């Protein structure tokens, strides 16, 4: 029994020694060697019980008499709506006390922060601030809780008491004021570069939305703008810049509700981009439900002034957003959606970054500069990938549109322009030639006895005749000429820089080519002839009058009259209105 008590006493002695050693062995920040540091690993901390608020003296006693926890990463992160926490950090200043230092907690949503600097057992400075304190009453006009001080020579101890309803993420930053200012400038450039990329993409897609009226472009723009504004808010920049006078706690609620804007816009954008409703209707309904139910729950939290509930729901929506992006990408891939591969890659990357950042803020992963900023990196990567997908879709839509327009202007049987295609090409050329006073002529071509060909041989052979004549004409005209199937068995030819006298010779050559052509069919060889009516200018004039820009239709009608006279006179001939006037046909 005596041996048992000896062993028990020995264990107690060893434990007491270990506790005493851990207290005495708290690392100290030597400011001359480490002029800038995020001090999580240098800090001891404990959380208050819910029954009482400790004074500084009581907290110092607890640090001295117990074994508080030691930070294991750059920052200390304990979760959402947890009890107030006390931190103790030892600082050694080897200089004569002339250097200015900035002490800050680089999360802007911490509600109440008290900071004491103790030197030789005496409090030499006490600073109060935090999100719950009016902006003008904070120690300095800055997006975080921060203050600048001249530390005396030797060892000083920094004590912090932090109380917040939101995430207890404490990146305690201690540096010289000079280095802090340089870091602020560098951070501003980084954020400016990131926001510039995302806002440029948002503006581009917003312009596209107003141009083409496709909702995915508008939702993508809202998604990017929402994220940028949310980032400006939860990094404290929006509050320090625009809303410093909106009162305590405004930033907490602003952060929460801005979190849902980009999540909702992003989920609806993904639904439309991947056409989820067509092949995964249940997933589509779940996505819509999440974008409705969770925001309603957050609204209830706001109306009941329950910040904790609203925060938890906001983090749930953020996580759901990341997971649903991946699930929608997988479903799209299974259903062979063109954009699925790239969407899935960028979604997995962004979701991983979002989950890491969210978990770090919630206290489930180490909180540091990398884990906190991963969400911006992931979102920027995703924004560029999704912009590429939308650009591909826009390019594909434009190609389809051009193909459809071209198809609408082409005669499907002969491959020639139809009336619409002729007008599309001929009108600008017509106006140009008329303005410059150049000659221009029209030839209207009609296959003789085409109805009889259809009746005798059938419509299939009639189509073969049309295609053969079209081929003869295409091979017989110049590259600058415009050829169209005008309707039925009629063809129209626009001859640029060609007077009527030249057009008559040109038309005669075409008539001869058609007459020489043979159409092979089941019944044997079919030969056809054609009648041609011509109307054109001579020396830039039509009937000794200048041609007007609206005379194209009139010239077509004149060529049609010449054609009618030719057909009445026996067919397989060429004539023009001027020749008719002279009595020749």
What pLDDT digit, counting tens, does each position of 218-264 carry?
998 998 898 898 888 878 888 777 777 776 667 778 888 888 888 89
- d(C-alpha 482, C-alpha 287), whole Å: 54
Average pLDDT for residues 437-464, to the nearest whole number? Answer: 90
Considering the domain boundaries, does residue 13 fall inside one? Answer: no
Across the range 259-285, mean pLDDT stands at 89
Q: What is the pLDDT of residue 13?
A: 39
Q: What is the DSSP secondary structure assignment for residue 32, as one 8-state letter?
A: T
Name the residue range of residue 482's domain.
419-581
What b/e readout covers 507-533, taking b as 16+ CB neighbours within 10 angstroms? beebbeebeebebebeeeebebebbbb
The C-alpha atoms of residue 309 and residue 81 are separated, in whole angstroms, by 10
Same domain, 44 and 149: yes
Q: Decide which of 12 and 303 is more confident.
A: 303
Asked whether residue 8 is assigned to any structural domain, the reply reads no
Q: Is the pLDDT of residue 124 over 90?
A: yes
Q: Which of 180, 199, 219 is the last residue of a domain?
A: 180
Q: Are residues 170 and 224 in the same domain?
A: no
Return d(Cα 4, Cα 167) in angstroms, integer.
Answer: 47
3-state SS, residue 87: strand
Q: What is the predicted pLDDT for the residue at 25?
A: 67
Number of domains present in the structure of the chain: 3
Say whether pLDDT at 29 is over 90. Answer: yes
- Does 566 reside within a domain? yes
Write the secondary structure of 363-431 as one string of H (helix), E (strand) and C (coil).
CCCCCCHHHHHHHHHHHHHHHHHHHHHHHHHHHHHHHHHHHHHHHHCECCCCCCECHHHHHHHHHHHHH
Q: Which residue has the higher pLDDT, 453 or 116?
A: 116
Q: What is the pLDDT of residue 72?
A: 82
Backbone angles phi, psi at 482, to 5 degrees: -115, 120
Rounded mean pLDDT, 71-79 = 84
443 and 296 share one domain = no
One domain for residues 531 and 558: yes
The yes-or-no verdict on residue 585 having pLDDT over 90 is no
The verdict on residue 570 lying in a domain is yes
Let me know if residue 4 belongs to a domain.
no
Is residue 510's pLDDT more than 90? Answer: yes
Domain boundary among 368, 403, 438: 403
Task: Determine the pLDDT at residue 179.
Answer: 93
Q: Say whether both 571 and 455 belong to one domain.
A: yes
For residues 423 and 568, state if they share a domain: yes
410/403 Cα distance (integer angstroms): 10
Higher-confidence position of 585 and 53: 53
Report the range of poorest mean pLDDT among 133-137, 153-157, 461-465, 529-533. Answer: 133-137
Residue 363 is predicted with a pLDDT of 58
pLDDT at 443: 94
Within-domain flag for 34? yes
Of the listed ranges 196-200, 417-421, 467-471, 543-547, the least confidently predicted one is: 543-547
How much is the mean pLDDT over the chain? 84
Q: Name the nearest CA neighbour of 74 among 355, 365, 315.
A: 365
Q: Which of 15-19, 244-248, 467-471 has the highest mean pLDDT?
A: 467-471
Average pLDDT over residues 170-175: 92
pLDDT tens-digit series, residues 283-328: 999 999 999 999 999 899 888 888 888 888 988 888 888 889 889 9
How many percent of the chain have pLDDT more than 70? 92
pLDDT reported for residue 467: 92
Same domain, 134 and 207: no
Do 539 and 437 reside in the same domain of the chain? yes
Same domain (yes/no): 395, 334: yes
pLDDT attached to residue 402? 77
- Residue 550 located in a structural domain: yes
pLDDT of 583 over the 60 cut: no
Q: Please state which of the ranges 76-85, 117-126, 348-357, 366-375 shows the lowest mean pLDDT.
A: 366-375
Please report the pLDDT score of residue 9 as a whole number: 39
pLDDT, tens digit, 9 for 90 and up, residues 378-422: 878 888 888 887 777 777 777 777 777 777 888 889 989 999 889
Regarding whether 506 and 569 lie in a shared domain, the answer is: yes
Domain boundary among 180, 203, 230: 180
The winner for highest mean pLDDT among 325-339, 471-485, 532-546 is 471-485
DSSP 549: T
Is 558 in contact with 577 (CB distance < 8 Å)?
A: yes
Dihedral sign computed on CA atoms, order 364, 370, 373, 378: negative
Q: Which of 382, 407, 405 shows the shortest CA–CA distance to 321?
A: 382
pTM, to two decimals: 0.65
For residues 272 and 151, membership in a common domain is answered with no
pLDDT for 149: 93
Name 192's Cβ contacts closer than 8 Å, sequence gap at least 6: none
Can you give the CATH number for the domain in which 170 is found? 2.60.40.2380
| Number of other CB atoms surrounding residue 161 within 10 Å | 20
82-112 pLDDT, tens digit each:
899 999 999 999 877 678 999 999 888 898 9
Q: What is the pLDDT of residue 352?
A: 83
Distance CA 132, CA 248 (A): 5
Percent pLDDT > 90 in the chain is 34
Residue 111 forms part of a structural domain: yes
Residues 324 and 463 both lie in one domain:
no
> The CATH number of the domain where 561 resides is what?
3.30.70.270
Phi-psi region of 116 (alpha: psi -120 to 50; beta: other; left: phi over 0): beta
């Amino acid at each position: 029994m005596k041996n048992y008590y000896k062993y028990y006493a020995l264990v107690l002695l060893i434990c007491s020694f270990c506790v005493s050693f851990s207290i005495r062995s708290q690392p100290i920040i030597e400011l001359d060697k480490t002029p800038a540091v995020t001090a999580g690993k240098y800090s001891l901390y404990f959380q208050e019980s819910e029954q009482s608020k400790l004074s500084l003296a009581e907290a110092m006693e607890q640090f001295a008499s117990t074994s508080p926890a030691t930070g294991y990463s750059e920052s200390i992160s304990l979760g959402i709506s947890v009890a107030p926490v006390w931190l103790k950090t030892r600082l050694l200043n080897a200089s004569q006390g002339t250097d200015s230092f900035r002490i800050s907690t680089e999360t802007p949503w911490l509600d109440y922060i008290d900071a004491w600097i103790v030197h030789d057992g005496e409090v030499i400075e006490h600073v109060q601030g935090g999100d719950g304190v009016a902006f003008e009453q904070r120690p300095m006009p800055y997006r975080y809780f921060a203050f600048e001080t001249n530390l005396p020579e030797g060892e000083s101890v920094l004590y912090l008491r932090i109380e917040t309803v939101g995430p207890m993420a404490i990146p305690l930053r201690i540096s010289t004021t000079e280095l802090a200012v340089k870091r602020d400038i560098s951070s501003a450039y980084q954020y400016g570069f990131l926001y510039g990329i995302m806002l440029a993409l948002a503006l581009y897609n917003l312009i596209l939305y107003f141009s083409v009226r496709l909702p995915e472009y508008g939702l993508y723009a809202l998604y990017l703008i929402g994220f940028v504004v949310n980032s400006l808010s939860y990094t404290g920049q929006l509050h320090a810049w625009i809303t410093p006078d909106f009162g305590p706690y405004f930033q907490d609620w602003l952060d929460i509700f801005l979190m849902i804007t980009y999540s909702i816009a992003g989920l609806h954008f993904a639904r439309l981009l991947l056409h989820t409703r067509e092949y995964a209707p249940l997933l589509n309904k779940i996505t819509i439900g999440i974008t409705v139910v969770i925001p309603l729950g957050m609204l209830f939290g706001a109306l009941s002034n329950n910040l904790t509930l609203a925060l938890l729901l906001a983090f749930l929506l953020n996580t759901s957003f990341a997971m649903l992006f991946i699930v929608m990408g997988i479903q799209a891939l299974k259903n062979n959606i063109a954009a699925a591969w790239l969407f899935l890659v960028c979604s997995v990357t962004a979701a991983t970054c979002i989950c890491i950042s969210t978990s770090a803020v919630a206290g489930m992963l180490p909180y540091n500069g990398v884990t906190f900023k991963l969400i911006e990196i992931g979102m920027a990567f995703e924004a560029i990938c999704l912009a590429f997908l939308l650009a591909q879709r826009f390019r594909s839509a434009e190609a389809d549109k051009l193909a459809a327009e071209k198809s609408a202007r082409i005669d499907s049987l002969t491959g020639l322009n139809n009336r619409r295609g002729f007008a599309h090409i001929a009108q600008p050329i017509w106006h140009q030639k008329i303005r410059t006073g150049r000659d221009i002529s029209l030839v209207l071509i009609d296959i003789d006895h085409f109805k009889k060909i259809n009746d005798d041989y059938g419509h299939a052979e009639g189509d073969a005749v049309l295609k053969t004549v079209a081929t003869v004409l295409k091979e017989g005209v110049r590259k600058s000429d415009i050829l169209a199937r005008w309707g039925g068995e009629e063809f129209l030819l626009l001859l640029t820089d060609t007077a009527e006298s030249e057009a008559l010779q040109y038309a005669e050559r075409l008539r001869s080519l058609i007459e020489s052509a043979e159409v092979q069919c089941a019944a044997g060889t079919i030969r056809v002839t054609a009648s041609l009516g011509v109307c054109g200018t001579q020396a830039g004039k039509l009937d000794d009058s200048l041609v007007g820009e609206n005379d194209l239709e009139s010239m077509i009608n004149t060529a049609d009259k010449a054609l009618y006279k030719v057909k009445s006179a026996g067919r397989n001939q060429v004539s023009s209105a001027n020749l008719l006037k002279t009595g020749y046909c």
